[in-house]
């Protein structure tokens, strides 16, 4: 059966943010056109094994591509029968949204936009190295609505160096006033090889864990009050319609596929994929990526064949990021392994620490466990 999820990495950004560890760089000369040509060829390479129900263009800043470049990519996806997904997301920066570009994406079948606001505080935007202003957030959001997008996610961040609880609350209030269908709110992580990490090491900034916990508690309270339902550590979505609330109706289906251990193709420089039990990673260098494609080669830098137990443990770990955790019967169906057998002691330790509960045939993290889900997930990796 063809793989039902597709991730496309666009590695270009107007400038590199101080916290970002994703592979990205500024566009220069003919590099972007060369990348677009290479991307089309890589899409041709995987098209026979891909009929996407979800598509996600991430970056970098996908919206930095010009109209002509987008037209070339979209035409290729249509020709290769890679369009028509139930959920098709494109990430954008508020500084690179235009009505013409938004209308082009919408007419091609893109039906979800994820916009990186990060904060509504001008000083903090500058500290993060963002190229947009708060006014651009509002203007771009209105532009997306005018173009017909009725499924928009806003990205925010908390525990930004020097950020106060009041500043974070003000950003949450500003986001609530826009009423996006989805909200993703991430804690600043000090990744190696980023300017922010070096500032922390040099003692120029401090990481306040107590304040970060207070901000996270505030996030849960404010998001619920604004009508967003938490379904994953950092993700909140509205629920529409009469169906009972399990997953909120506006939850990101593409990301849920990741967290539930589903297969996906990844194309573009540094993109990862997971198909047939093999995890792959493309080379994280745009010029070398293009060279390999131009030679007719797949641009993979790494491949890893995971054993069945290792795959199941990884699937368990990712799935615990979600509020509902894992139903034992669902986990067995997805992985072929029994959580109660392979990970009984691990689950027991987390329950004893009040980080998890077992209820109604389901294992899930508690609110305090969710706050430290990465540490809890390590228990399940084999």
pTM confidence score: 0.93
Based on the domain organization, do 255 and 318 belong to the same domain? no
Mean pLDDT of 7-31: 73
Phi, psi (degrees; rounded to nearest 5) at 112: -145, 135
pLDDT of residue 20: 54
CATH label of the domain that carries residue 77 = 3.20.20.70
Distance of CA 52 to the CA centre of its chain: 17
pLDDT of residue 350: 95
Band (pLDDT 50/70/90 cuts) for residue 2 is very high
Residue 197 has pLDDT above 60, yes or no: no
Phi-psi bin for 256: left (phi > 0), alpha (psi -120 to 50), beta? Answer: alpha
On whether residue 283 sits in a domain, the answer given is: no
pLDDT of residue 377: 86
Based on the domain organization, do 136 and 46 belong to the same domain? yes
On whether residue 275 sits in a domain, the answer given is: no
- Number of structural domains (the chain) is 2
On whether residue 279 sits in a domain, the answer given is: no
Q: Are 3 and 49 in contact (CB under 8 A)?
A: yes
For the residues of 251-284, what is the DSSP string, one character each? Answer: S-HHHHHHHTT--BEEESTT-EEEETTEEEEE-S
Based on the domain organization, do 245 and 350 belong to the same domain? no
pLDDT of residue 366: 94
Q: Are 106 and 132 in contact (CB under 8 A)?
A: no
Non-local (6+) Cβ contacts of 185 within 8 A are 155, 156, 157, 158, 219, 223, 234, 236
Based on the domain organization, do 28 and 103 belong to the same domain? yes
pLDDT digits (tens, 9 = 90+) for 80-133: 999 999 999 999 999 889 999 999 999 999 999 999 999 999 998 887 877 778
On whether residue 360 sits in a domain, the answer given is: yes
Cα–Cα dist 171/117, whole Å: 9
Distance of CA 197 to the CA centre of its chain: 21
Based on the domain organization, do 28 and 152 belong to the same domain? yes
Based on the domain organization, do 31 and 157 belong to the same domain? yes
On whether residue 268 sits in a domain, the answer given is: no
pLDDT digits (tens, 9 = 90+) for 307-336: 999 999 999 999 999 999 999 999 999 999
**Dihedral sign for Cα atoms in the order 101, 87, 91, 243:** positive
Based on the domain organization, do 120 and 193 belong to the same domain? yes
On whether residue 285 sits in a domain, the answer given is: no
Based on the domain organization, do 220 and 334 belong to the same domain? no
Based on the domain organization, do 38 and 106 belong to the same domain? yes
Based on the domain organization, do 236 and 347 belong to the same domain? no
Q: What percent of the chain has pLDDT over 70?
A: 91
Kindly report the average pLDDT of the chain as a whole number: 91
Q: What tokens does 141 get?
A: 């959001």
Q: Would you tell me how many other CB atoms lie within 10 Å of the CB of residue 170?
A: 14
Q: What tokens does 267 get?
A: 């194309």
On whether residue 288 sits in a domain, the answer given is: no
pLDDT of residue 193: 65
On whether residue 300 sits in a domain, the answer given is: no
H or E, element range at 182: strand 182-187
CATH label of the domain that carries residue 359 = 1.10.10
Band (pLDDT 50/70/90 cuts) for residue 217 is very high
Based on the domain organization, do 137 and 24 belong to the same domain? yes
Domain extent, residue 326, equals 309-380
Mean pLDDT of 152-174: 95
């Amino acid at each position: 059966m063809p793989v039902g999820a597709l991730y496309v990495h666009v590695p270009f950004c107007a400038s590199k943010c101080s916290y970002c560890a994703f592979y990205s760089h500024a566009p220069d000369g003919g590099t972007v056109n060369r990348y677009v040509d290479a991307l089309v060829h890589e899409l041709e390479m995987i098209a026979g094994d891909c009929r996407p129900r979800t598509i996600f263009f991430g970056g970098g800043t996908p919206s930095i591509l010009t109209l002509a470049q987008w037209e070339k990519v979209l035409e290729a996806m249509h020709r290769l029968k890679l369009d028509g997904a139930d959920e098709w997301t494109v990430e954008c920066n508020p500084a690179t949204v235009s009505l013409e570009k938004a209308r082009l994406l919408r007419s091609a079948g893109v039906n979800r936009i994820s916009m990186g606001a990060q904060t509504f505080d001008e000083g903090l935007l500058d500290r993060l190295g963002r190229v947009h202003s708060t006014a651009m957030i509002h203007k771009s959001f209105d532009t997306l609505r005018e173009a017909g997008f009725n499924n928009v996610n806003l990205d925010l961040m908390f525990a930004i160096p020097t950020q106060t609880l009041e500043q974070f609350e003000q950003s949450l209030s500003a986001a609530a006033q826009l009423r996006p269908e989805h909200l993703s709110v991430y804690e600043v992580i000090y990744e190696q090889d980023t300017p922010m990490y070096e500032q922390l090491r040099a003692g120029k900034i401090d990481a306040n864990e107590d304040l970060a916990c207070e901000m996270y508690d505030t996030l849960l309270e404010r998001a619920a009050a604004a009508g967003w339902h938490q379904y994953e550590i950092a993700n909140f979505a509205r629920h529409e319609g009469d169906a009972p609330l399990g997953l909120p109706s506006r939850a990101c289906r593409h990301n849920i596929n990741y967290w539930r251990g589903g297969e996906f193709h990844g194309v573009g420089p540094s993109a990862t994929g997971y198909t047939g039990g093999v995890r792959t990673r493309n080379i994280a260098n745009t010029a070398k990526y293009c060279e390999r494609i131009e030679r007719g080669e797949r641009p993979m830098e790494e491949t890893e064949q995971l054993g069945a137990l290792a795959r199941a443990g990884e699937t368990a770990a990712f799935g615990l990021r979600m509020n509902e955790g894992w139903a034992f019967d669902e986990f067995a169906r997805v992985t072929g392994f029994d959580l109660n057998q392979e990970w009984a002691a691990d689950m027991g330790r987390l329950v004893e620490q009040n980080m998890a509960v077992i209820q109604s045939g389901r294992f899930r993290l508690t609110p305090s466990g969710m706050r430290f889900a990465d540490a809890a997930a390590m228990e399940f990796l084999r």
